[in-house]
Structure 1
């Protein structure tokens, strides 16, 4: 009996192995040759019969439809197409590695028309940032992701910050989009913004930067460009088995003793898929470099000694005390496919920070040499969003693809400050809630023509309060709120555009968008006697674009793009009361009208076989009726008493014009099979007309020339890169007038005037793939330990910074 059982056990084992081998042979796994990561969406096809199969999230594609055929082709954009014998795949091969193309002029992008389009058909300049590169460069925030591209300049007022500058514009003149929903709201300000750090860098699957106005597709605010972030998405299984996938990261960076922990898990069937992600961040006080201007050191800080504000000596002047903060970010996505052509989903996001010290305010001093502030910090910055969407694909009817999304966002922030040796502490708290709705449709009119059209609706409600607390008595009193409490802002728009291949080599893109915005607010006159008690604005705008992309052959692309953008006044523009700088206060101006941007750019790209790719873009932007800060009067007075200090009255007004022109040049060269060189250079000059002197002055958000040059060696499990990041500087005369009045931010020239010195750093990053699922990332930033501060920033950059991360995926 025992022998019989053993016999059947052996028979069952052999049968199981045979079945397992047959099952494995009926499917194929496609991976990237370099990273060994599975490739999703790879096309398996047979040209004769038209048989088509796509790989799933595990890179797995079914071979059963091809068993009666002789061969199949395997293809994906950005990779070399390969042909394989079906018999050999079934009998001998369980995995196929696709070889990435060294260079290409086009890949699928989403940011231009909200739908995937081949990049070589588009006229716009787009920077694509991939997840593999993000992991290699080891960013601490999403602002770092943009900065490391070498094509986006990032300003920081504090460690918990990062304000991207695109083509001379920033803050509420650039648009942040996450998973197709715009983040910009009614209180996005014209100064520097740190909202991009609300996005988890460990969860970014892909990011695209659209340089230049995106008004036709995105409406208001997209003047300088659009930053389009795509977070990890649910993945469906291709068969009846469950697809389990996930990843984890542990990261350390020495300059701020920064710690990161990240985990994401996903589970998918053929009809239902889920993914959840959570990340925790801790940043200590940032240490700057050893070699550089002494003006960037931190020789003192304010502490409390026996209940009294006192100036204390900082024993480690490179340590920028009172700069650290914590952050936590999470999201969950659930998607359902009732049929092959319909997908429904719901997403929930939450991001929050601890208090974030406003470092640039903590280093300011009064004319008598005493600190200006004892306390200045942003309260927790919390962003929540819940969105639901429906996607549909149709073979006939009014659309080929449709996407409807409705999102509710809830954003809150606060500011707490107290002057040195004052017992009065001010607290301003703001909250914006609203609905964002988008309907985007695409219709394939023919193989050469696609029509895109849709509509958008946004409504925002702003709640704002201000209190003043006496620390000695504990009594609280009213203080002016930053914004008129109960203000509303909404916009409605419709758009239509087309992408048409005039010939096989020439593609035309054209579109138009009509927008209507409305704003309503009432001013509280109990603290300030405003000349107006309410403001109600209604504005209409018509924007559009016209682009041509010409491909003389597969190695050339020449593009011309003309586009317009606009920005309607929001609640921050029209109703804010805030001390924007020492001795100056911004007051409401209900007379604002929209500003309009007119942009033109020409681009050229050339691929030299498998050896090099060169691309260049020249652009010019004219901003008319530009909303900028200018001296103003309140009830006939050019200064008022604010926070116990006589302050000049400023307001946001429509100045005459601003212009920006510049160039972007990139070069990629394959030096050897394993060694690659890449160079990114950006030059721009922006000026605006001063309506007091009628002369042109530098534009605040046009940075000095900057860029990056790097060399990367990659072989088997190793990837090592060394990069040279650089920025030119500004003399005192080249600084915008508003920056000349901020001496605490800048180094001093021989005449004692503020200026922004040029700087450079050398960084080395390494990635070692222990297995296909586990990799180690290590790096050394700022090897020379330079002490520098990027233009307009209020905090010095990290000194020598050792970074180590362990990443695992499955």
Structure 2
């Protein structure tokens, strides 16, 4: 990793063992000839995160850290007609910090350094959702409006405008996300009125759009250039189709899928050129959308055994979902003094896999 002389640093994830016990109670009531369903539940969780030895980690934290939480959910669903159902729900959530977030000390591939925070608190969240499911003939459509409020979100923050060191922190303000989710699927053969026989063909589209994404803790950072929530895509969309044959000696299916990931905001821990690439080390970037296309084919060679072949990232897109300095990018945004000869980071390119899958 970066340095002169080079030195072995600890892994990016600390070793840990988790143990938890929980009691969950739920009650469901059906009314109006089972068309109205009311549900409520509560869960009490007691857990312990035990720190395990992590190679090359200085200042090891010994012992265990306990946590507990009470979470609940309530909801109602109403089947208004044979083709339309409506629902509403509210729930709370909880996430305990990991050993990495409490005690990390590691270097990123881009030369930055991140420290854990022993005083970090658990995340909590509150969600509200209203939605409807419409089923008509060969098609199904599900639409939901939601609000998610995250308190004490665990994230990283740079130590200053000219520092390549960050710390895990609890966000000083709530994270508020409001949006819409849509899922749809159509039986294409039925929709065209064809006789299916042994053929099957379905098309689907699933996506979400966060029309309101606000980090209320951004005001605590005077140099923050946006109050957008970091590491959350503004929108995502998956379009795909599956077709094949069933009821024959060797049933088979082919799937084609395109995935769109919208813009995301991120204050990276990489070492980028200042001011050529970014005005300061605590600059929050907006990464552009990218599209990936995936293919998968499979055939049942015997009951419970499938032969499959898949190609992920068919068009060999050079991307990374978060990091800014992409390998091969010209001119590079990376400060190459800290990259040990590399020119940035990329996610995998075209990936071809062939294998057998057995279920028993």
Please confirm whether the aligned pair reaches a TM-score higher than 0.5, indicating the same fold.
yes
2:102 match: secondary structure = helix
Query: Among residues 617, 628, 635, which one is paired with 2:144 in the alignment?
Result: 617
Looking at structure 2, the residues matched to 518 and 803 of structure 1 have their Cα atoms a distance apart, in angstroms, of 39
Aligned residue number for residue 805 of structure 1: 355
Query: Among residues 27, 35, 48, which one is paired with 1:505 in the alignment?
Result: 35
Matched, 1:425 2:43: no
Aligned residue number for residue 697 of structure 1: 227
Give CA-to-partner distance per residue, 1:639-675, whole Å, 9 cap, x none. 9xxxxxx864634234211112222211111121333
Compared with structure 1, are the counterparts of its residues 709 and 426 closer, same or farther at alpha carbon in structure 2 (3 Å cutoff)?
closer
Give CA-to-partner distance per residue, 1:541-598, whole Å, 9 cap, x none. 43211111111234332111100112344543333333456344425342x3333211
Aligned residue number for residue 76 of structure 2: 548
Query: Among residues 166, 174, 184, which one is paired with 1:657 in the alignment?
Result: 174
TM-score w.r.t. structure 1 length?
Answer: 0.33
Q: CA deviation at 1:507?
A: 0.8
Compared with structure 1, are the counterparts of its residues 507 and 573 closer, same or farther at alpha carbon in structure 2 (3 Å cutoff)?
same
Query: Among residues 663, 673, 677, which one is paired with 2:203 in the alignment?
Result: 677
Q: Would you say the 8 A contact 1:549–1:559 is kept in 2?
A: yes
Aligned residue number for residue 309 of structure 2: 778
Q: Which runs of 5+ in 2 are unaligned?
A: 52-56, 190-195, 279-283, 324-344
Looking at structure 1, the residues matched to 261 and 209 of structure 2 have their Cα atoms a distance apart, in angstroms, of 10
Matched, 1:630 2:157: yes
Compared with structure 1, are the counterparts of its residues 759 and 772 closer, same or farther at alpha carbon in structure 2 (3 Å cutoff)?
same
- Count matched residues: 306
Looking at structure 2, the residues matched to 738 and 723 of structure 1 have their Cα atoms a distance apart, in angstroms, of 33
Give CA-to-partner distance per residue, 1:148-203, whole Å, 9 cap, x none. xxxxxxxxxxxxxxxxxxxxxxxxxxxxxxxxxxxxxxxxxxxxxxxxxxxxxxxx
Looking at structure 1, the residues matched to 89 and 317 of structure 2 have their Cα atoms a distance apart, in angstroms, of 40
1:425 match: secondary structure = coil
Looking at structure 1, the residues matched to 102 and 286 of structure 2 have their Cα atoms a distance apart, in angstroms, of 32
Aligned residue number for residue 287 of structure 2: 756
1:714-733 matches, cutoff 5 A: 714-716=244-246, 717=248, 718-730=251-263
Compared with structure 1, are the counterparts of its residues 754 and 587 closer, same or farther at alpha carbon in structure 2 (3 Å cutoff)?
closer
Looking at structure 1, the residues matched to 205 and 156 of structure 2 have their Cα atoms a distance apart, in angstroms, of 36
1:701 match: secondary structure = coil
Give CA-to-partner distance per residue, 1:587-613, whole Å, 9 cap, x none. 5342x333321101122111113x111
Compared with structure 1, are the counterparts of its residues 631 and 663 closer, same or farther at alpha carbon in structure 2 (3 Å cutoff)?
same
Give CA-to-partner distance per residue, 1:711-770, whole Å, 9 cap, x none. 22233444343424132443xxx622337x5659xxx89xxx976343334444333345
1:656 match: secondary structure = coil
Compared with structure 1, are the counterparts of its residues 758 and 628 closer, same or farther at alpha carbon in structure 2 (3 Å cutoff)?
closer
Matched, 1:496 2:25: yes
Query: Among residues 70, 95, 103, which one is paired with 1:575 in the alignment?
Result: 103
- Name whichever structure is richer in helix by fraction: 1
* Aligned-residue CA RMSD (Å): 4.1
Q: CA deviation at 1:538?
A: 7.0
Matched, 1:787 2:317: yes
Q: CA deviation at 1:423?
A: 4.7
Q: Would you say the 8 A contact 2:152–2:174 is kept in 1?
A: yes
Q: Would you say the 8 A contact 1:512–1:544 is kept in 2?
A: yes
Q: CA deviation at 1:615?
A: 1.1
Looking at structure 1, the residues matched to 35 and 286 of structure 2 have their Cα atoms a distance apart, in angstroms, of 49
Q: Would you say the 8 A contact 1:501–1:508 is kept in 2?
A: yes
Matched, 1:687 2:241: no
Q: CA deviation at 1:706?
A: 2.2
Looking at structure 2, the residues matched to 711 and 764 of structure 1 have their Cα atoms a distance apart, in angstroms, of 10
2:28 match: secondary structure = strand
1:143-182 matches, cutoff 5 A: none
Q: Would you say the 8 A contact 2:28–2:37 is kept in 1?
A: yes
Aligned residue number for residue 608 of structure 1: 136
Looking at structure 1, the residues matched to 18 and 26 of structure 2 have their Cα atoms a distance apart, in angstroms, of 28
Compared with structure 1, are the counterparts of its residues 583 and 594 closer, same or farther at alpha carbon in structure 2 (3 Å cutoff)?
closer
1:698 match: secondary structure = coil
Aligned residue number for residue 115 of structure 2: 586
Q: Would you say the 8 A contact 1:508–1:547 is kept in 2?
A: yes
Compared with structure 1, are the counterparts of its residues 650 and 506 closer, same or farther at alpha carbon in structure 2 (3 Å cutoff)?
same
TM-score w.r.t. structure 2 length?
Answer: 0.68
Q: Which runs of 5+ in 1 are unaligned?
A: 1-372, 374-418, 437-455, 457-492, 522-526, 633-637, 640-645
Compared with structure 1, are the counterparts of its residues 807 and 518 closer, same or farther at alpha carbon in structure 2 (3 Å cutoff)?
closer
Aligned residue number for residue 168 of structure 1: none
Query: Among residues 69, 73, 85, which one is paired with 1:557 in the alignment?
Result: 85
Q: CA deviation at 1:628?
A: 2.7
